[in-house]
Amino acid sequence: MNTIPFGPRNPPEDPLLAKAAELPKDVAPARDLWPGIAARLGEAEKPAARSFRWPLALAAGVLVASVSALLTWSLTRSPDVPAPNTRIAQATPTAAPTEVVPVKYGPNSGLSAKDFGARDELLRQFRGKFADLKPETRAAIVKNLEIMQQAANEIDAALAKDPASGMLKGMLVGTYKQELQLYSTVVTSSDGLTRRI
């Protein structure tokens, strides 16, 4: 940080300005102004709230965005296509799950009963096809849902501190849409996703 102090860089040639430059820079107010300021700081948003929430929320957002890439790969890859360069945990074929746990959204999500109703309907259709998916696809889906859950948790925690944040709300809705997209992709896809008998 630059901490260059106040003061003329070059002494003024004008004697009047030279005298002005010699005036004390500091003038003490007649009363302590801090109590009034401190009272108003409570009304103002704490700077820390802004500066430290965003990295958390953005990290969650990155996870959500990464889900799409991995999911696309999981559902459409052929055996000889390498996985995309993503840090998301790879599914373990030997531990293929038979059931999914939908994402739980916290009290700050702002999602309505209508939103959850739409999801539940899609989830019902999804579950009807889930058991028929290839083991590695099922494992990938479960892993991705876990990541979405982590993102939702972090965004919800950030929203608890900053309920008015439009950006956080947008990210939360984005997570919700990702979840729906996942279910929808499975429901509407038929070829190549199910087990070969």
Partner 1 sequence: MSAGRVDSSAELVMRACRGDTGAFEDLYRQHVGRVYGLCLRMTGQPESAEDLTQDTFVSAWRSLPGYEGRSSFSTWLHRIAVNAVLAKRRSPQGRNEVSMTDELGEQMEFEADAPMDEATPIDIERAISGLPPGARDIVVLHGIYGYSHEEAAEMLGVAVGTCKAQLHRARHLMRARMGEERAT
**Distance in angstroms (rounded) separating the CA atoms of residues 80 and 188:** 24
Running DSSP on this structure, what letter comes out for residue 29? Answer: -
Residue 162 burial (CB count, 10 A) = 19
**166 near partner 1, rule: CB under 8 A:** no
First to last CA, the chain: 67
**1 near partner 1, rule: CB under 8 A:** yes
Residue closer to partner 1 (CB basis): 77 or 161 = 161
**87 near partner 1, rule: CB under 8 A:** no
The tokens for 111 are 């999602």
Residue closer to partner 1 (CB basis): 52 or 192 = 52
**4 near partner 1, rule: CB under 8 A:** yes
CB 86 within 8 A of CB 144: no
**23 near partner 1, rule: CB under 8 A:** yes
**164 near partner 1, rule: CB under 8 A:** no
Residue closer to partner 1 (CB basis): 2 or 78 = 2
The least CB distance from residue 2 to partner 1, in Å, is 5
Residue closer to partner 1 (CB basis): 27 or 164 = 27
Q: Report H helices in 22-134.
A: 34-41, 47-76, 113-130
Residue closer to partner 1 (CB basis): 35 or 79 = 35
Interaction mask 27-66, partner 1, x per CB under 8 A: xxxxx-xx-xxx-xx--xxxxxxxxx--------------
Q: Which residue, chain included where needed, has tokens 């302590």?
A: 32
CB 152 within 8 A of CB 106: yes
3-state secondary structure of 172: helix
Binding part of the chain for partner 1, among 20-28, 114-122, 152-160, 186-194 by CB under 8 A, reads: 20-28
**Distance in angstroms (rounded) separating the CA atoms of residues 48 and 87:** 29
User: Which residues of this protein are in contact with partner 1, per CB under 8 A?
Assistant: 1-9, 12, 14-17, 19-31, 33-34, 36-38, 40-41, 44-52
